[in-house]
Chains A and B, each alone.
Chain A
């Protein structure tokens, strides 16, 4: 791709989300909006590279796409149109050529919120929410989504098509939820963005470096969401959490591609500006006085980020934050993390006692990090035989090659 083409691609990616959002509202039809946008992008590619950028690319694209939609509907009207398409076509004609003449349509921020909440509507499956969000809000192609999630293109295409069909036929509304239901609906949106982030973030340790694109997409979408909902603290918390995790990306994989534990990471590789922004966002969110699970998680990440060395980590503070997190959702994984914090804040013996309690439930038997945390506590107590036993139990459940190599190294190292 030439530099000019790259620049255009960047603009397309940045603009297509907002433009599509407004088109869907104006046209009332997901598929038509998407087709019309593709038409407009094709025209833009030709005219912009010849005549340069218009003053407002977003408005230009929206207006052109709307005109293209009218063309498409006129064509449909001749071939075969359903009654609702016919009505829409006539309405658009009247709007376009009525007393107002051809007016310009600009993207409206509220439309992006409508689109986010529609894509993440709980009546759609989580897989569909993710694919649709990346496709329509993130501006990713079907091929890019398929590549990112290592799923074949046909499956993703079908997922997106089915979701769009359900939105149309079951009439999932294109609106921002009212105050009353905003909380739970926002939770769904945040989970989708966090899943996208984690898919990219955790994948970098699997050698699929291209997936770090997903991290950038998730960050972009989270940034957009917090800008659209400036009075909501949880989107800020999520953005902060992503920034703080991502700030450690370089340090968590060694040159050999091995996983590096937080305590062993070279902290000079952490991206300071990103940490600063993350910490500042956590504080900004917490000042709103409505704490939530993402804010607490980002606060935990901030405590880690602010420790100059692993030994200086304020584990007491982290343990308190995990206590708070458990109040929002009591999951075995959070209990595990709390036990780890307490093993440092107090003693490994105390940590092991807590892990014993979790073990009794059997919930984490197949979760490698559980056995690894336990192994580590034994190791710190000098109980190497017990530690080795735990590493052995973790091995079959290693989530990826990096973790497997890490466990094998520990097994061999301790065996000496």
Chain B
């Protein structure tokens, strides 16, 4: 069963961190990803650039309308995604709990829809 682990954290807090602190969190993420890979549960992982680089588009009346910034202004922003293939929700929760940002931000666990045609 595949789940997306969506990492939500406050970008502001990240920017406030010293180089040293940022380096430490980075290393934690590397260690976590290696552990996940070794367990054979990792499908993919995609860290995202901050929302300051985001562009949101809508197509209205056949016209693409791009705007600067993320879809929604929220306290925490989507910062990255892991896709894992695990036994059940309990295992997904266990892996999500180990994500470094779980301690300060939030991890949303979403089952991937199983659409055979896609």
In the complex, what's the smallest C-beta–C-beta distance from A54 to chain B, in angstroms?
Answer: 36
Contact B111 A123 (CB under 8 A): no
Which residues, 153 to 192 on A, are CB-close (under 8 Å) to B?
A: 169-173, 175, 177, 181
Q: Which chain B residues border A169 with CB–CB below 8 Å?
A: 111
- For A177, the chain B residues whose CB sits under 8 A away are 90
Q: How far is the CB of A363 from chain B (nearest CB, A)?
A: 25
A69-94 vs B, Cβ < 8 Å mask (1 yes, 0 no): 00000000000000100000000000
Q: What's the Cα separation between A114 and B116 when bound, in Å?
A: 31
Contact across chains for A173 and B88 when beta carbons are under 8 A apart: yes
CB contact list, B57-116 vs A, under 8 A: 87-90, 93, 109, 111, 116
Does B1 sit at the interface, judged by CB under 8 A? yes
Interface residue from A83, A121, A171, A175 paired with B111 (Cβ < 8 Å)? A171
Q: Please, which residue of chain A has its CB at the minimum distance from the CB of B109?
A: A170
Q: Which residue of A lies closest to B88 (CB)?
A: A173
The smallest C-beta distance from B86 to any residue of chain A, in angstroms, reads: 9
Docked pose: A170 CA to B2 CA in angstroms = 9
Distance (whole angstroms) from the CB of A129 to the closest CB of chain B: 15
User: Which residue of B88, B90, B109, B111 has the most chain A CB atoms within 10 A of its CB atom?
Assistant: B90
Cβ–Cβ contact B111 & A170, under 8 A: yes
How many A residues face the partner with a CB closer than 8 A? 11
With beta carbons under 8 angstroms apart, the residue of B89, B111, B116 that contacts A173 is B89
Min CB distance A102 to B, Å, is 31
In Å, the complex CA distance between A239 and B111 comes to: 37
Report chain B residues within 8 Å CB of A172.
Answer: 88-90
- A residues in contact with B89, CB < 8 Å: 121, 123, 170-173
In the complex, A170 Cα to B108 Cα: how many Å? 12
Question: Of A123, A170, A173, which one neighbours B87 at CB under 8 angstroms?
Answer: A173
Complex CA gap A413/B106 in Å reads 54
Q: How far is the CA of A181 from the CA of B94 in the complex (A)?
A: 11
The answer to whether A171 touches B88 (Cβ under 8 A) is yes
Q: Determine the chain B residues whose CB is within 8 A of the CB of A181 once the complex forms.
A: 90
A176 to chain B, nearest CB (A): 11
CB-nearest residue of chain B to A174:
B88
CA distance A177 to B93 in the complex (A): 13
CB-nearest residue of chain A relative to B90? A173
Write out the residue numbers on chain A whose beta carbons fall within 8 Å of the beta carbon of B93.
123
Determine the chain A residues whose CB is within 8 A of the CB of B90 once the complex forms: 172-173, 175, 177, 181
The complex places the Cα of A171 from the Cα of B1 at a distance, in Å, of 8
User: Nearest CB to that of A169 among chain B residues?
Assistant: B111
Complex CA gap A123/B88 in Å reads 12
A153 to B107, CA, bound (A): 33
Chain A: minimal CB distance from B111 (Å): 5
Shortest CB-to-CB span from B90 to chain A, Å, is 5
The smallest beta-carbon distance between A393 and chain B, in angstroms, is 36
Chain A residues 199-221 with CB under 8 Å of chain B are none
> Considering the chains assembled together, what is the distance between the CA atoms of A171 and B88 in angstroms?
5
A172 to B109 alpha-carbon distance, docked (Å): 12
Q: How far is the CB of A292 from chain B (nearest CB, A)?
A: 23
Task: Tell me how far the C-beta of B106 lies from the nearest C-beta in chain A, rounded to whole angstroms.
Answer: 14
Q: Collect the chain B residues with CB atoms within 8 Å of residue A121's CB.
A: 89
**Interface flags, B1-32, vs A, CB<8A=1, else 0:** 10000000000000000000000000000000
Determine the distance from Cα of A169 to Cα of B109 in the docked complex, in whole angstroms: 12
Which chain A residues lie closer than 8 Å to B109 at the CB level?
170
Instruction: Report the separation of the CA atoms of residues A177 and B91 in the bound assembly, to the nearest whole angstrom.
Output: 12
Task: Give the residue among A171, A172, A175 with the most B Cβ atoms within 10 A.
Answer: A171
CA distance A83 to B116 in the complex (A): 10
Please indicate which of the listed interface residues A123, A170, A175 has the most CB atoms of chain B within 10 Å of its own CB.
A170
CA distance A186 to B116 in the complex (A): 38
**Chain B nearest CB: distance from A191 CB in Å?**
19
Question: Chain B contacts of A175 at CB under 8 A?
Answer: 90
Rounded to whole angstroms, the CA-CA distance of A306 and B88 in the bound complex is 48
Cα distance A173–B111 in the bound complex, in angstroms: 13
B59 to chain A, nearest CB (A): 29
Interface residues of A in 91-140 (CB under 8 A from B): 121, 123
Chain B residues near A171: list those with CB within 8 A.
Answer: 1, 88-89, 111
Q: Could you say which residues of chain A place their CB within 8 Å of the CB of B111?
A: 169-171
- Give CA–CA (A83, B90) in the complex, Å: 25
Q: Closest residue to B116 on the A side, CB-wise?
A: A83
Q: How far is the CA of A278 from the CA of B88 in the complex (A)?
A: 39
| Closest CB pairs A-B (n = 8) | A173-B88, A171-B88, A172-B89, A170-B111, A171-B1, A170-B89, A173-B90, A171-B89
Known: A123-B93, A173-B88, A177-B90. 5 other contacts (CB 8 A): A170-B109, A172-B88, A172-B89, A173-B90, A175-B90
What are 10 A-to-B residue pairs whose CB atoms are below 8 Å?
A: A83-B116, A121-B89, A170-B89, A171-B1, A171-B88, A171-B111, A172-B90, A173-B89, A175-B90, A181-B90
